[in-house]
Amino acid sequence: MSVFSNCTFIDNSNYFDVEICKRCPLKEGCYKEGAKSKTYSVTIKSDEHVEQMTFQETKYFKEKSKERYKIEAKNSELKHGHGYDVATSSGLISMQLQLRWPYLL
């Protein structure tokens, strides 16, 4: 008889019958005495997530991430120092006007 024959599969989590866990020869480090339920969950990652994790391990990504603080500092300066944190109105033309407005005065 398989240990997994009396478990219920819901999504990516497995719920085991605790009575079987009590008798299991592999319960050491798995089953805790007095537990009312036993689950085992597996995270399922999408292909995009796996690709991103792989990309983040590349030398190219690591080099570029070291330069990011410079860009973030410039964005922060624009946002806080020059008043670009909130658009005064919507639309591309309005944003362009807001950008040029200090120079038109």
* Mean pLDDT across the chain: 77
Residue 11: pLDDT band (50, 70, 90) is low
pTM of the model: 0.39
Spatial distance between the Cα atoms of 54 and 74, rounded to a whole number of angstroms: 29
Question: Could you read off the pLDDT of 58-91 as tens digits, one per residue?
Answer: 999 999 999 998 888 888 887 887 777 777 777 8
Paired strand residues for 10: 13
Q: How many CB atoms lie within 10 A of CB 83?
A: 12
